[in-house]
Chains A and B, each alone.
Chain A
Amino acid sequence: MVPLHWYLWLGSLVFCIGMFGFLTRRNVIIMFLSIELMLNGVNISLVALSHYMQDLRGQVLTLFVIAVAAAEAAIGLAIVIALFRNKPTTHLDEIKEMKG
């Protein structure tokens, strides 16, 4: 039997790797992928907690997280396409016309 804490550590590690990617990459698409990584880290912890607490709420919450991730990806990528139409780059530092 694997102790609960291993799963929680795994979840936190994945979350922190995602956070690192989000903070240090400037390619919009990889930043989105980093957000998905963070969500996956949370999902692992939720499912593990749900299993060890013998309660299905964590799994239901995971389903909602997946649904929201799908919505977020759709909107985010639509924004990327709209941005790309105005300025052909996905590098965020080059998109700074919107200041004031």
Chain B
Amino acid sequence: MVEFFFGFFAIMILFCSVMVVMSRNAIHSVLWMLVMFFHVAGVYLMLNAEFLAATQIIVYAGAILVLFLFVIMLLNLREEMNIEQLIDGWPAGLSLAVAMLVVLILALGSFSVKPWGQWSIEVVEKTTQTKALGKVLYTEYLLPFEIASLVLLVAIIGAVVLAKKKLKS
């Protein structure tokens, strides 16, 4: 049963990823990306990460992708669709990507882990995943958390400065 769900999610994720990369129309790419995010959220649910699954949808699908859609619509790129989507040297790109995949899979072959942390499934289920994540995030990772907020602040200011129209003096 679990294997069946994993297979379904994996096939959908891979198919949607390929469609994101190969779509001629940027809006269609964004839509395939949306479908893919849902299936990634499904994989997170299989891994008992319900909070992350919800965050994946709220932040990735609800905020980042909407931003993409918004920008594509502002730019109104209808004529871009007539251009050939891949560059001439695409076989080089493909072979690089395949080489990367081979390296990754070969490297993963000898890789194994054993459970060593304190947050086993039973413990996480007892405290609920959100609470457990909060505990780790606000104690062990407090400083990185604050730095992340700083990064977001910088991004907000940077985006406003970059996208603002220059006032004519």
Contacts and interface: CB of A to CB of B under 8 A. Distances in A.
Q: Is chain B in direct contact with chain A in the complex (CB below 8 A)?
A: yes
Interface of A: 1-2, 4-10, 12-21, 23-27, 29-30, 32-34, 36-37, 40, 43-44, 47-57, 59-60, 62-64, 66-75, 77-82, 84-85, 88-91, 93
Interface in B114-132: 114-121, 124, 132
B52 A47 contact: yes
B7 to A, nearest CB: 9
Given A16-B101, A19-B100, A20-B21, A69 B93 contact: no
Contact of B85 (A5, A25, A34): A25
A20 B94 contact: yes
State the main secondary structure of chain A at its contact with B.
helix
Interface string B42-57: 0110111101100110
Interface residues of B, number: 88
13 contacts: A8-B111, A10-B10, A27-B26, A37-B20, A51-B48, A54-B115, A54-B116, A56-B133, A60-B133, A60-B136, A67-B151, A68-B148, A79-B162
Interface of B: 2-3, 6, 10, 13-14, 17-18, 20-21, 23, 26, 29-30, 33, 36-37, 40, 43-44, 46-49, 51-52, 55-56, 59-60, 63-64, 67-68, 71-72, 74-75, 77, 80, 83, 85-87, 89-90, 92-94, 96-98, 100-101, 104-105, 108, 111-121, 124, 132-133, 136-137, 140-141, 144, 148, 151-152, 154-156, 158-160, 162-163, 165
B14 to A, nearest CB: 6
Given A14-B14, A56-B117, A29 B159 contact: no
A56 B104 CA distance: 24
A32 to B, nearest CB: 7
